[in-house]
Amino acid sequence: MSAPRTFRIAAIPADGVGAEVVAAGRAVLDALAQSSGGAWTFDWTEFPWGCGYYEKTGRMMDEDGLKILEGFDAIYFGAVGWPSVPDHVSLWGLRLRICQNFDQWANVRPVHFHPGVTSPLRKADDTALDWVVVRENSEGEYAGLGGRNLSGRGPGNEVALQTSLFTERGCERIIRFAFDLARTRPRRKVSSVTKSNAQQYGMVLWDEVFARVAEDYPDVETESVLVDAMSAKFVLHPEELSVVVASNLNADILSDLGSALAGSLGLAASANLNPQRRFPSMFEPVHGSAPDIAGLGLANPIGAIGSAALMLDHFGLADEAARVRKAIERTTASGVLTRDVGGTAGTDEVVAAVIEHLA
Ligand code: GGG
């Protein structure tokens, strides 16, 4: 018998409901590992970083935190943000710091219906909503370039600059990623989203790279759509989409819209991938810290558990990932649902149901 494989995972619950949903995902993965008969195990290390840590230390994470994280096979993240810390400080101090330092340039956000969950879009055909939003995760509107107080004329006359950065290399790698992904899906189609009629430099470059890369994938359908038109298409013609690739900000907004159309932001899973595997990738629910329900045991853990399934895929445990997804489906289909999707169950009840359905 070969030696058991141990996957070292850094857990960063961070803020608000992050603690509850990371605990939920861990419980499901540990139950799964138990049932593997020792073939593989998860070795968890939890880090206390986030807004509470910031209040005590003035930092969102340890100074050598990135160095520490480098030694892990993956990072399992909760949510960042709390009212006591400005949102741009907490986001840049933790989530974006990790994504950008570990060159996690591909943010993969699947969007689909869940059985038993009512969606504002619900059509008879369950495949009407089955997309993957691919978010460029390293540059674009999140390049962090710009400044404040540029006029030098003081309060009331302030000028601030926020610059987007689009590199040909950055555009090409995410667009190729989207095409490669489309080839693995029932519908081979990539929809590219920009606002290149108004953003006449970076997003025109994106469109040009998209057209060039598309020539290498003659078997994949393509379209280029402006982000405003795509928002309408999400609602009116969801059945026409498969892989949607967009810049950092546009894809963030579109994937929130997509999750809401699926029934709730609480359902949405995501993977921040370093596709070259030079650095650890990070798996997290799309949702934020939800301070209004934090600590009440009401958070929907499905997005975090789905993110754990994406982590299993990343580890090469595809059958186990499929088991977790099936267990999620059985749970929602059986009506064990949290409040955001019309149910009465608490986080723990959903977790218990998912674990029961793993069997
Ligand atoms: N789990 C995702 C999360 O914590 N998101 C917080 C947030 O504000 N994200 C905005 C972004 O990353 O663009």
Query: DSSP string covering 20-45, please?
Result: HHHHHHHHHHHHHHHTTTTSEEEEEE
Phi first, then psi, for residue 73 (nearest 5°) are -80, -25
Specify the residue with its C-alpha closest to ligand 1, atom 7.
288
Output the six-digit token pair for 41.
């195990």
HEC string of 96-146 equals HHHHHHCCCCEEEEEEECCCCCCCCCCCCCHHHCEEEEEEECCCEEEEEEE
Q: Say if ligand 1 is within 6 A of residue 95 CB.
A: yes
Exposed, middle or buried, 180 (CB in 10 Å: 0-12/13-18/19+)? Answer: middle
Q: CA torsion, points 348, 25, 353, 343, in degrees to nearest 10?
A: 60
Residues annotated as part of the active site: 142, 195, 228, 252, 256
pLDDT string in tens for the chain (359-residue length): 566 799 999 999 999 999 999 999 999 999 999 998 888 999 999 999 999 999 999 999 999 999 999 999 999 999 999 999 999 999 999 999 999 999 999 999 999 999 999 988 866 566 689 999 999 999 999 999 999 988 888 788 999 999 999 999 999 999 999 999 999 999 999 999 999 999 999 999 999 999 999 999 999 999 999 999 999 999 999 999 999 999 999 999 999 999 999 999 999 999 999 999 999 999 999 999 999 999 999 999 999 999 999 999 999 999 999 999 999 999 999 999 999 999 999 999 999 999 999 98
195 in ligand 1 pocket by Cβ < 6 Å? no
Q: Which atom of ligand 1 approaches the CA of 248 most closely?
A: 13
Q: What is the pTM (predicted TM-score) of this model?
A: 0.96
Nearest CA to ligand 1 atom 5: 288
Give whole-number Cα distances, 83 to 80, 91, 285, in Å.
11, 12, 20
Domains and CATH numbers, the chain: 1-111+263-359 (3.40.718.10), 119-130+166-262 (3.40.50)
Max CA separation in the chain (angstroms): 73
SS3 300: coil
d(CA 122, CA 260) in angstroms, rounded, equals 12
Centre of ligand 1 to C-alpha 159, Å, is 26
Please enumerate in sequence order all residues whose Cβ is within 8 A of that of 83, keeping only pairs 6 or more positions apart, or say none. Answer: 291
- Mutate which of 75, 85, 95 for ligand 1? The one with the most ligand atoms within 8 Å of its CB, which is 95
Q: Strand pairing of 130-136 and 140-147? A: unpaired
Site to substitute for ligand 1 among 80, 105, 249, 300, most atoms within 8 A of C-beta: 80
Task: Answer yes or no: is the C-beta of 252 below 6 A from any ligand 1 atom.
Answer: yes
Structure tokens at 270: 């995501």
The set of long-range contacts for 32-36, using a CB threshold of 8 Å and a minimum separation of 24, is 32/312, 32/320, 32/323, 32/324, 32/358, 35/358, 35/359, 36/320
pLDDT tens digits for range 85-141: 999 999 999 999 999 999 999 999 999 999 999 988 866 566 689 999 999 999 999
Which amino acid type is present at position 33?
Answer: A
- CA 175 from chain centre, in angstroms, equals 17
Q: How many beta carbons lie within 10 A of that of residue 4, not counting itself?
A: 12
Are 14 and 78 a contacting pair, CB within 8 Å? yes
Q: Atom 4 (ligand 1): residue with closest C-alpha?
A: 79
User: Ligand 1: does its nearest atom lie under 6 Å from the Cβ of 288?
Assistant: yes
Contact 247, 141 (CB under 8 A): yes
**Tokens standing for residue 64:** 């050598």
